[in-house]
Amino acid sequence: MCWSFGDLMVAPKRIIIVGDGTGGICTANKLSARIPPENAEIMIVGNSPKLSYRPAGLAISLGSRDYRKYSKDVRFLLNSKISYRRDTVEGVDARNKNILTKSGNRYDYDYLVIASGLRPSPEDIPGSDGEAKHFQDFNHAAELHTLLDGMTEGDLVIGSPDSVYSPTSSFEFAVLADEFLGRKGVRNKIDIKFFFPGEEILPIGSVSTRMMEVLGRKNISCTENFSPKRVSQRNGEIASEEGALLKYNLLVMPQPMKGQGFVCKSGLAEKNCLMPVQEATLQNEKFPEIFGVGDAVDFKTMYVPKTIGSTVMQSGVVAEELSRELGGKYTDREYRGEAPLHVYCGDKLAFSVNVKQGDANIGRDASLDYHFRQTGSDEYFSVLVRGMI
Ligand SMILES: Cc1cc2nc3c(=O)[nH]c(=O)nc-3n(C[C@H](O)[C@H](O)[C@H](O)COP(=O)(O)OP(=O)(O)OC[C@H]3O[C@@H](n4cnc5c(N)ncnc54)[C@H](O)[C@@H]3O)c2cc1C
């Protein structure tokens, strides 16, 4: 398709988005709302037929059975002007501006958005695969629920593998498991122990302090500076790099995560296959026509938790930056590390955390924030991923 400007015929630019998760769908929808189709063709390439509301893994591990409510067909969530290719990207040729997919297709782009999220890397903690239970997907969450439900005594050890993955959901699991076991009348026979690498649960002191207070209230003991190194199923223990050991009857720990292999292979990333970006514009430092959104991205100077909130905020910045480039609208919007979230803290309460430039404002424990957290999937599918915020 071409459009004419006087005698001049100008082909629309092609924007390719890699990844059909929260960041990819949200960015595509925002772009299609801002840029007229004669200026840009928007294509999304991804390999998930359904989008799941990930925080629901937590609810399922604690007994929710609302599976269908927590997943939607990707096509149903994309605006009609967006073209969707179900495929796996295997490489980016950044110099020649094209991507190569598993099915053998090569697509040229003018702009590329990497929104390919994270992949599990259980091999980083030998012995953990299958033995450390988690709620990162709904099947594993259901398995964890069965085990938790059957637990009557012993040590429930909960922790975080590393700093790439946000430890907030492990913290929430500990708090909610305390209440779940209390309701079943077995809490007094089960010791809940929480561990985390480094000196703070999150690298934002005020949030960590609040989380430690909550864990203290719930009589959950904490082991800091515990970077998991190895799990021994036979002995029922997890060892840390620092030389400590924790015995468990049930171990709950998300799998360690890394960026996707193709990002590294294409020379766009080094550490953990996460793509470093210019923090304000989310552009790749070497190739400014490549942007990054969501979990796939690395920030060099500020801490940004990998959450739905930060991903949605970043998608807005990229959409505005591209709509300015493509003659749409004027914008001077910059990303400043914003990451809003609500955190369960027990007793049907939650607190809000508004992260910005590595610091955070924290709200009081409130039932309204608990309500937002409980109904989050409705807002997620009807507003957030549709690009309305
Ligand atoms: C258990 C759990 C609980 C969470 N709880 C919360 C919470 O309570 N609040 C919160 O704000 N956040 C939470 N998060 C984090 C949140 O889900 C993520 O930050 C967010 O989904 C990141 O979006 P993304 O688009 O970057 O990545 P993803 O949503 O992971 O999407 C990446 C997409 O890229 C696709 N893809 C990957 N590689 C390729 C490839 N080579 N080719 C094509 N497609 C590819 C994948 O299939 C996927 O669809 C949680 C995450 C988990 C796992």
Which phi and psi (to 5°) does residue 317 adopt?
Answer: -65, -45
Count of H-run helices and E-run strands, the chain: 10, 26
Angstrom distance (rounded) from CA 2 to CA 101 = 26
Please list, in sequence order, all residues whose beta carbon lies within 8 angstroms of the beta carbon of residue 324, skipping any fewer than 6 positions away: 330, 331
Domain 3-55+70-117+260-336 identical in fold to domain 123-254: yes
Please list, in sequence order, all residues whose beta carbon lies within 8 angstroms of the beta carbon of residue 326, skipping any fewer than 6 positions away: 13, 35, 39, 40
CATH topology of domain 3-55+70-117+260-336: FAD/NAD(P)-binding domain (3.50.50)
Residue-averaged pLDDT of the chain: 94
| 135 CA: nearest ligand 1 atom | 1
Query: Can you tell me which residue has the tokens 């390999």?
Result: 47
Per-domain residue ranges for the chain? 3-55+70-117+260-336, 123-254
Per DSSP, what are the bridge partners of residue 354?
340, 361
Which phi and psi (to 5°) does residue 147 adopt?
Answer: -70, -40
Q: How far is the CA of 242 from the centre of ligand 1 (A)?
A: 30
Q: How far is the CA of 308 from the centre of ligand 1 (A)?
A: 8
pLDDT at position 2 is 47
DSSP run (H or E) holding 44? strand 40-46
As for ligand 1, residues whose beta carbon falls within 6 Å of it are 18-24, 45-48, 54-55, 57, 88-89, 115-117, 135-136, 169, 260, 262, 294-296, 306-309, 311, 341
| 309 CA: nearest ligand 1 atom | 11
pLDDT in tens, 261-313: 999 999 999 889 999 999 999 999 999 999 999 999 999 899 999 999 999 99
Question: Which residue among 17, 18, 22 is best mutated to probe the pocket of ligand 1, counting the most ligand atoms within 8 A of its Cβ?
Answer: 22
pLDDT in tens, 4-28: 444 455 689 999 999 999 999 999 9
pLDDT at position 163 is 65
Look up residue 309 and give its two tokens.
Answer: 């909130």
pLDDT in tens, 76-104: 999 999 999 999 999 999 999 999 999 99
Angstrom distance (rounded) from CA 193 to CA 251 = 10
Statement: residue 325 has pLDDT above 90: no
Q: Which long-range contacts (CB under 8 A, 24 or more apart) does 210-219 make?
A: 210/345, 210/351, 210/362, 211/171, 211/343, 214/171, 214/175, 214/345, 214/346, 215/171, 215/174, 215/175, 217/346, 218/174, 218/175, 218/178, 218/192, 218/346, 219/178, 219/192
What CATH number was assigned to the domain covering residues 123-254? 3.50.50.60
